[in-house]
Amino acid sequence: MSMLSPALELRHINKSYDGVIALNNASISIAPGSIHGVIGENGAGKSSLMQVAYGLLQPDGGQIFIDGVAVSLKGPSQAIEQGIGMLHQQANWLEQLTVFENVMLAEPSIGLFNRKRAQARVKLELLCREFGFEFSLSTKLSELDYSQRQLVDVLRSLYRGVRVLILDEPLALLSPTQAGYLNKLFITLKLQGISVVVVSHKLAVLHQLCDVISVIREGVVTACVSPKLVPLSELSILMIGRELMLPPSRVEPKIVAKDVLLNIQSLYVKGVSKGRKSTAYVDLTDINLSVFSGEIIALIGQPKAGQEVLLDVMAGLVKFKSGTIEFKQRVINSNSGFSVKQARELGIGYAPSPLINDGMVDMLSMAESVYLGYQQQGFGRWGIISNEAKEAHCRVMMENWRVLPILPAMQSSLFSGGNQQKMVLARELAQQPALLLLNQATQGVDASASDYLVRQLFSLRDRGASVIFYSSDLDEVMSLADRVCIFNQGRMVEVIMAANTNKADLALLIAKEPNDA
């Protein structure tokens, strides 16, 4: 009610599903006419909080205020009425419909032949001209590229009189020019009194652009800082640093690596970028990497920069278009094909990202899940095995890794995410692979298990095997890796010896845009 009321405020929002807490007393306040950045790791709760603000998610507790007045948002239509708009990263558009039809989707009071339709057209064209959008209202969405589609969403929000526009990861799939255009658009909106909330991983961009940045960790908004007062490097530490845990101590390798275990040359992987898939990824171009046996390599970069795709390719899950992979003297090129089964037979183990959790099948018991990928062994020569043997095997793993409750017969989805991940790691390590691939392996895993994992990795390395892992935790990277490869937009832009760098430098390298000096 006062002139200084925040345009949008969320207070003490709680949300949990399936017993997992997504938002824990999160509060955020968006001032009118400001550009507000929201940062946090994967799974920290950024998207959940924004979905609550837009009415897509109903919180278990907490309140929403718009211009100081408490509102109840049962769904996006109420949020839109209240002036909140949201742009999602993917899957927002109806390809065969025109811009006009997409913008007017679900807009009440537009009939078939009444005047409102013509009036709406006029208003939209005015808006297009005002903001410099270059597409015509009758173009089909399928003919527009990604950045233009985003602008269609912006147009819709503008038409509906948006006052707080939330954008969920708008910059991830844009080229630098397109991103620059979007940034200018934000400033234009801000000047019109519209608040812009940007959720993103691009710390450097947010640092330059935003008036305020909120940091979310584990479901709580832990900090709300002004970029003018806080340097970029501290931002990343605010986001990912684990102040309670000391970084695991590094163990130097006992033998100096000599033989090349894995050699990747000129690898090219065609990306998937159509708006539909949530696992969209960029093209990987010109990847070259040599890995010695007994080496630990870290792949780092912003999310979706390509490091996860490379892991998938090496595991046999994703096909590559050209280039060669040489593993243990076996040459694999794009014609010979490389299946998951072959990868396993060669001795490549893979622990996929726990956030997607493909390594576990929800409805199988834990004892059975432990065989996923290694069915041959689990089931003996005649393809038959007794349940007791399965459970005994599982029980041993659970004891080693301290997975509770020790109930191998319980359905795997009922174990906590961290425990499921522990079992995935246990499964792969038990195979004593020659090359172990890890994708964000310690996400959600507690400190003591992380420690156990690190020790296991070191002993694996000492036996001559190699490890390639992707982690967004730079402490972990520094203590584990011998070499660090930095990915950006599908290219491996740098490879550094861990001894020659430190955490802060790495953070800056990750945040660097390809066009920066």
Partner 1 sequence: MNDFSWILLFDAAIRLATPLLFAALAGMLSERAGVIDIGLEGKMLTGAFAAAAWAAISGSALQGVAVAMGCGMALSLLHGFACITHRGDHVVSGVAINMLALALTSLLANRLFSQGSMTPILLDQQRLPALIFPPIVDDDWWLGQIYWQLISGHNILVYFAGVLVILLYVFFKFSPWGNQVIAAGDNPKALRRAGGSVDSVRYAAIIAGGAICGLSGAFLSVGHGAGFVENMTVGKGFIALAALIFGKWRPLGVLMACLLFGLLEALAIRLQGHYLFSEAGGLPIQLLEILPYVLTLGVLAGFIGPSLAPKALGARR
Partner 2 sequence: MPKALPWWFNALLLPTANIFFAFIACGIVLWLVGIDVTHAIDVMFSGALGSSEGVGYTLFYATNFIFSGLAVSLAWQAGLFNIGAEGQALLGGLGISLVCLYGPQLPMYLMFPLTITIAALFGGLWALIPGWLNAYRGSHIVITTIMFNLIASSLIVYLLVGPLKQPGQMAAVSSTFSQATWLPTMEQLLGNVGIHLASSPLNLSFLLAVVCCILVYSYLWYTRVGFETRVVGLDRAGAKFGGIASKRIIISTMVLSGALAGFIGLNEVQGSSHQLHVEFVSGYGFAGIAIALMGRNHPFGIFVASILFGALYQGGGELAFSDDNVGHDVILLIQALVVLFCGALEWMLKPRLIQLLGLNRWQSPNEAQPS
State the Cα angle at 9 between 240 and 171, rounded to 5°. 50
Backbone angles phi, psi at 29, to 5 degrees: -135, 125
- If one asks whether residue 19 binds partner 2 (CB under 8 A), the answer comes out as yes
Q: How far is the CB of 97 from partner 1 (least distance, A)?
A: 6
| Angle formed by the axes of helices 146-159 and 176-191, nearest 10° | 10
CA distances from 51 to 55, 85, 162, 297 (A): 6, 11, 16, 37
- If one asks whether residue 431 binds partner 2 (CB under 8 A), the answer comes out as no
94 binds, among partner 1, partner 2, none (CB under 5 to 8 A by kind): partner 1
Cβ-contact 488, 307 below 8 angstroms: no
- If one asks whether residue 384 binds partner 2 (CB under 8 A), the answer comes out as yes
* H or E element at residue 28: strand 20-30
Q: How far is the CB of 474 from partner 1 (least distance, A)?
A: 34
- If one asks whether residue 49 binds partner 2 (CB under 8 A), the answer comes out as no
| Interacting residues toward partner 1 by CB under 8 A | 54, 56, 75-77, 79-80, 86, 88, 91-97, 101, 104-107, 110-112, 156, 276
**Tokens 């954008």 sit on residue:** 167
Complex with partner 2: residue 75 or 180, whichever CB lies closer: 75
Q: How far is the CB of 301 from partner 2 (least distance, A)?
A: 23
86 binds, among partner 2, partner 1, none (CB under 5 to 8 A by kind): partner 1
Complex with partner 1: residue 14 or 92, whichever CB lies closer: 92
Is the backbone peptide bond immediately before 405 cis, with ω within 30 degrees of 0?
yes
Please choose, out of 134-142, 173-181, 192-200, 356-364, the segment that lies near partner 2 by the rule CB under 8 A.
Answer: 356-364
Q: x/- contact string, 297-336, with partner 2 (CB under 8 A)?
A: -------------------xx-------------------
Complex with partner 2: residue 159 or 379, whichever CB lies closer: 379
- If one asks whether residue 414 binds partner 2 (CB under 8 A), the answer comes out as yes
Cβ-contact 367, 390 below 8 angstroms: yes
Strand partners, 70: 65
Cβ-contact 83, 163 below 8 angstroms: yes
Q: How far is the CB of 212 from partner 2 (least distance, A)?
A: 28
E strands in 202-357: 212-217, 220-225, 260-269, 284-292, 296-301, 322-327, 330-333, 348-351
- If one asks whether residue 340 binds partner 2 (CB under 8 A), the answer comes out as yes
Please choose, out of 205-213, 327-335, 367-375, 490-498, the segment that lies near partner 2 by the rule CB under 8 A.
Answer: 367-375
Q: Look up residue 107 and give its amino acid.
A: E
Cβ-contact 259, 292 below 8 angstroms: yes
Q: How many CA within 13 A on the CB side of residue 282?
A: 19
Q: How far is the CB of 400 from partner 2 (least distance, A)?
A: 20
Please choose, out of 108-116, 235-243, 322-330, 343-351, the segment that lies near partner 2 by the rule CB under 8 A.
Answer: 343-351
Backbone angles phi, psi at 62, to 5 degrees: 110, 175
Complex with partner 2: residue 113 or 382, whichever CB lies closer: 382
Which residue in 379, 395, 493, 509 binds partner 2 (CB under 8 A)? 379
CA distances from 6 to 33, 64, 194 (A): 10, 11, 12
104 binds, among partner 1, partner 2, none (CB under 5 to 8 A by kind): partner 1
- Distance (Å, whole) CA 439 – CA 472: 10
Residues lying near partner 2 in the complex (CB under 8 A): 17-20, 56-57, 316-317, 339-341, 343-344, 350, 352, 356, 358-364, 368, 371-373, 375-376, 378-379, 383-387, 410-411, 413-414, 416
